[in-house]
Structure 1
Amino acid sequence: MKFFILRVLLVSVLIFLFFAQMSGITVIAENSPIKGSVTEYMKNPEKFEGNDIESVPNKTESERSNQLDIGILDVLKMVAALIFVIALLYLILRFINKKSQSYQQNRVVQNFGGTPLGGNRSIQIVKVGSRLLVLGVGEDIRLLKEITDDKELEDYIRQYNEQHTQNSQHVDVITKWLKRKKEGFTKLSASSEQPFHLILKGELGEMRKNRKTVLDELELGKKGKNKDE
């Protein structure tokens, strides 16, 4: 799953860079201001002495420099494209994660994982219904052990569920972060819409409450000392 995510990220970045480079390519074409052909110039060179040939490259260079300038709008377009690619990747990964979880839960046979031993041989832990089997996979498949201890069986199932929960939590980190940002932005916009005198009044009210609380604590402390004396 991790290698698949890395592949998707790499392909998306390459696509983004490709379109970013394509958006910066411009084609400049103009008609040459020099009239006549090479044959006419060879026959009558005096006729072309008045043409300003050296001014043409300068003009095209200035136009190219103007065309290659990157403005704020281009930067905003690139940022918007990057945000779109990241959002698309996030939605794809979340969809794949949900599908894989539902598929694993609905399957009768579930692979809990395994370890390679070399030479195309490995040990796999497979759950078939309510039974947990340890299989040796090589040229053929052999049953090495069946886990019948209830406590050991529950431990394997708990570890498997925790692993899937952690994977789903990694995907939901972006959702939680976006939700916090949205709530902060909503509070900020709500406070900015209030008039200044209401905000000041609220702050002064909080200060009065805090001051009253401190004074009450001091009075209680003095009364306690007087009683002790």
Structure 2
Amino acid sequence: MQAVSVKLARKIVELDPLHIVGVVENINPSYGNVLLGPTFKKILGAESYKEKILGNTFRVSAGSFFQTNVVQAELLLRELRERVGESRFLLDLYSGVGLFSITLADKAQRVIGVEENPFSYFDALHNAYINDQANVEFVQGKAEGVIMGLGKPDVVVLDPPRAGLHDDVIAGLHYLRPERIFYVSCNPRSFARDALNLIGIGYELVHISPYDFFPHTPHVEVLSEFRLKV
């Protein structure tokens, strides 16, 4: 079976040898709707790849999440950098491999990223190190479980999965009351729900920009900014 797997992996790499750096098998023993299981096995080549965005290098392992449309991601990040301004403490929830935390590191005195996925978390630690971002740290855990124990940020960046924000994240934001919240969403339905919840706890939606991360599909990514009402 292993010999067949290696042979198949070589055929896959031959399809695009300039861009396919490795073949990894994921084993998911469950029957639920979770796509990936906990076990990854390298069949051929590398177990991760590197992406360079706005001068920073990011390692992305097979089990980690990363934006699939790098061109649109760069455009979104450029706008985010323009809007975020200078801050004392920036909290990046659902931080993945550190894309937002590291890209915005020079905009804040302190940055903390929170990520549940262990593969993304360890990639984020590695990426902060290779990009020499000493003011960036990462915490592994669910956003709703750790938000109350990290201090009071003045800026929060949110990039949740399609399901959107957990109720306890909304409650944590209500308690912490950061001055500004930047919310990146790939699901208009959950974003609309969360936007109403943020407005309900005292925020105003002041800006929203759509990005075509998924061309020729009905899906759209949005970057939004919420400000605390005075």
Q: Given the two structures, how large is their TM-score scaled by the length of structure 2?
A: 0.18
Flag the structure with higher helix content.
Answer: 1
Flag the structure with higher strand content.
Answer: 2
Query: Which of the pair has more CA radius of gyration?
Result: 1
Higher relative contact order (CA 8 A, sep 6+): 2
Q: Given the two structures, how large is their TM-score scaled by the length of structure 1?
A: 0.18
